[in-house]
Structure 1
Amino acid sequence: MNAFLYGVGLQWRLDIRSKSLLVTCYVVPLLFFAVMGGIFTSVNPAAKDTLIQSMTVMGVSMGALIGLPPSLVEIYGSDIKKAYKANGVPLYLGLVSMYLSAFIHLMIMSAIIYVIAPIAFDAALPENLPFYFGMLAVFIAVSLGIGSVLGLAMKSQAKLTMISQLIFLPSIMLSGIMFPVEMLPGFFRALGKIVPATWGYLLMSDNSLVLGNLWPLAGILAVTVFLCGLLLKRLKVD
């Protein structure tokens, strides 16, 4: 256990020095928040009620879907994987340590938005703080699960970038954080229910638990855990 915790702590410190993680988990989400927060609240003052939730969904989605997968490809698509095998290190250790490290970074980024939004844009704070961060943790876990599957399944950085963008952009456009989902055609509303960003936004916007919004995320998380297990077994054989 001590070795595992040391590995997670080491990965977290390495990630702090990573330019790609700095950009995807902090710089771009916080710049987007700084610019779009002012635009949203100027165009529609009612946006202050859900500004924290919408900006957090965008930041988490970017960090999980665009920031995490390339780091996993660097391990499992290179000779680092062979070094793991040669030294008897379980293949899952790299995935778990990166997953937990990214989880911590995304929670920190979300906390920054939570603190600054009321000061900068007079955004409304969620009424139930423990509930909000609990649902945020669920959303981050599910989003990182999808990012983990992408990172384990892809061997090419170029192909990974394309696939990640194809998942990230619909997650932002169809989740309701940019404009109400009622404005979308029926097909796109149905498509938006596939992405975790939609359910994460709904969960964090509620003041009490709505199981109908939680079950889709639980199902997606279960599928990603299963797929990660299969992909790690495949990588072990390769």
Structure 2
Amino acid sequence: MKAFLYGMVLQWKLDIRSRALLITCYVVPLLFFAVMGGIFTSLMPEAKDTLIQSMTVMGVSMGALIGMPPSLSEIYGTDIKKMYRANGVPMYFGLVSLAFSAFVHLLIMSAIILITAPIAFDAKIPSDLPLYFTTLTAFIAVSLSVAGVLGLSVKNQAKLTMISQLIFLPSIMLSGIMFPAKLLPGILNKLGKLFPAAWGYQLLSGPKFDISIIFPLLLIFITAVILCLFLLKKQRSE
């Protein structure tokens, strides 16, 4: 157990030096927040009420869906996997350590948005912060579980980048953070609900804990975890 915890902390320290993670978990989300935060609040003053939630959903989705899968592919699609076997390291270690590291970084990024949005754009702070961080934790976990499926199932880096973007872009455009989801055609509104971002935005923006929103996120999480277990079992047999 001590070695396992040490490995996760080591992975987190290595990721701090990762240029790819720096870009996807900090630079791009925070730059998007700095630019779009001003545009949103200027064109739609009411956007201040949900600016923190919408920018957080965008940042978490980018960090998870675009930042984490390539790192997983580097582990399970290269000789690093053979090193795991040779040294008796559990096959799931790479996934768990990367997910833990990404979780911490995304939580830090979300905290930066929460702190700076009221100062920079007069954004409204969530009324119940403990509930907000509880739901944020759930949303990050679900997003990372989906990222785990992507990273384990697609070995080709170029193809993985394309697929990650094909999932990230519609999940953001159809989530309701850019414009109200009710304005979308019915089929696109339903399509958006297949992604964690739509449910995460509703959950973070809601005034209370809503089980009807938690259930779809839980279903996505359980499905993704089962797929990750299947893919890890497949990795052991290859």
- Equivalent in the alignment of 1:58: 58
How many Å apart are 1:4 and its aligned residue?
1.1
C-alpha distance in structure 2 between counterparts of 1:89 and 1:157, whole Å: 24
- TM, length-normalised to structure 1: 0.99
Q: Which residue in the other structure is 1:48 paired with?
A: 48
| 2:148 is aligned with 1:132 | no
* 1:205 shift after superposition: 0.5
How far the C-alpha of 1:2 sits from its partner, in A, is: 1.0
State the Cα distance separating 1:183 from its structure 2 match: 1.2
Identity between Structure 1 and Structure 2 (%)? 68
- Correspondence for 1:205: 205
Partners of 2:31 and 2:226 lie apart in 1 by: 35
The letter of the residue matching 2:52 is: I
What CA deviation, in whole Å up to 9, does each residue of 1:22-73 have, x standing for no partner? Answer: 0000000000000000000000000000000000000000000000000000
Render the CA deviation track for 1:69-120: whole Å, top value 9, x for unaligned. Answer: 0000000000000010111111101110000000000000000000000000
CA distance in 2, matches of 1:200, 1:156: 29
- Aligned-partner Cα distance in 1 for 2:81–2:136: 32
Report the Cα distance in structure 2 between the residues aligned to 1:139 and 1:147, rounded to whole angstroms: 12
Contact preservation (8 Å) 1:131, 1:207: no
Provide the rounded CA distance (Å) in 1 between the counterparts of 2:57 and 2:65: 12
2:51 maps to amino acid: L
Residue identity matched to 1:202: Q
Q: How does 1:102-181 map to 2 (within 5 A)?
A: 102-181=102-181
Residue 155 of structure 1 aligns with an amino acid whose one-letter code is K
Distance 1:182 1:146 in 2: 25
- Stretches of 4+ moved more than 3 A in 1? none
The equivalent residue for 1:225 is 225
Which stretches in structure 1 are left out of the alignment for 5+ residues? none
Deviations 1:191-214 (A, max 9, x none): 011111000000000121111111
CA distance in 2, matches of 1:235, 1:229: 10
Deviation at 1:131, TM superposition (A): 0.2
CA distance in 1, matches of 2:136, 2:90: 29
d(CA) in 2 for partners of 1:24 and 1:13?
Answer: 16
Match of 2:39 in 1: 39
Q: Distance in 2 between matches of 1:187 and 1:224?
A: 23
Name whichever of 82-91 and 26-35 sits farther off.
Answer: 82-91
Q: C-alpha separation between the residues in 2 aligned to 1:94 and 1:155?
A: 15
The separation in 2 between residues aligned to 1:189 and 1:139, in whole angstroms, is: 19
